[in-house]
Amino acid sequence: MERGLYIVPTPIGNLADITQRAVETLMGVSLIAAEDTRHSRKLLAHYEIETTLCAYHDHVSEQVTEQLLMRMVSGEAVALISDAGTPLVSDPGFRLVRAAQDKNIPIFPLPGPCAAIAALSGAGLPTDRFFFEGFLPAKSQQRRKRLESLQHQTGTLIFYEAPHRILATLADAVEIMGPEREAVLARELSKTFETIKRDSLAALLSWVEADANQQRGEQVLLIGSAPDQLGTELSERDRQLLFRLGDELPPRKVASIVADVTGVKARVLYEQLINREKK
């Protein structure tokens, strides 16, 4: 097998969801760097993969990273896997990939399972524009600030959430995003008790409060795009920013930048700039 770092997705629940290429890669590499070796041994045993495992997570030393790099520099192939899904998607591995690139070590990302994409594909929310936000902060104040910064975002928002925090997160989302904001809760994807439910945030909160089973297992929360009327409003401070940038840059470029920051539609911002120039 060609030397390099192989990014190998693993099943998020159903062991049958691994690809043939992933199995062949895990069998062919010299070493598998796993987030949790105890967890990964179950998967490897199921497919009779006897490749050596080593631990690689956020808390490993720089020495471990260097050892992996040296093995690849010397011509070996190393696979990186996480507990479930695609590595680096809310999982460790970012430092190793960058370090390997810096040493001109080839990177081979394999396609495969990802809870965020699986949830999005079955949510019934718009998929033409979406934002993966990973895990929200565990503490209420920081979580609320993050939600406030996203409340006017146009596009489907995707979050991972721990089961013991799902009620608190839904309650914060109801207050900040609005009770009627459309959302989806996708739970235990690909597993026995898989559930996907689309409703308003307020209705989802009531449903989860009433059914303790919905407070268990792996959770993906998707929140629909901000209502259209939120995409036309601009604060006075943001308006000043818009016009100041308009003095230095082309209108379409300015509209695109300010739209990304404020959530206001770029078309609306562009029209404001053009109308200002005509006055």
User: Which range has the worst mean pLDDT, 9-18, 219-228, 266-275?
Assistant: 266-275
Rounded to two decimals, what is the model's pTM? 0.79
CA distance readout (Å), 30 to 21, 45, 68, 78? 16, 17, 11, 6
* Secondary structure (3-state) at 272: helix
pLDDT value of residue 92: 78
Closest residue by Cα to residue 187 from 131, 126, 118, 133? 118
Q: How many CB atoms lie within 10 A of CB 169?
A: 23
Q: How far apart are CA 51 and CA 184, in angstroms?
A: 39
Residue listed under structure tokens 């990304």:
260
pLDDT value of residue 230: 43
pLDDT value of residue 196: 98
Closest residue by Cα to residue 115 from 225, 13, 6? 13
pLDDT value of residue 211: 95
Q: Give the percent of the chain with pLDDT over 70.
A: 96
Mean pLDDT of 191-196: 96
- Give the pLDDT confidence of 155-178 residue by residue, as tens digits: 999 999 999 999 999 999 999 999
Does residue 42 register a pLDDT over 80? yes
- Give the pLDDT confidence of 82-115 residue by residue, as tens digits: 999 999 998 778 999 999 999 999 999 999 999 9
- Give the pLDDT confidence of 195-253 residue by residue, as tens digits: 999 999 999 999 999 999 999 999 999 999 987 544 456 677 888 888 889 888 998 89
Residues 115/185, Cβ–Cβ less than 8 Å:
no
The 3-class secondary structure across 186-202, one letter per residue, is: EECCCCCCCEEEEEEHH
Q: First CA to last CA across the chain, in angstroms?
A: 66
Closest residue by Cα to residue 133 from 180, 90, 195? 90
Ranges of beta strands (E only) in the chain are 4-7, 31-34, 53-55, 77-81, 107-109, 130-135, 156-161, 182-187, 195-200, 219-223
Does residue 257 register a pLDDT over 50? yes
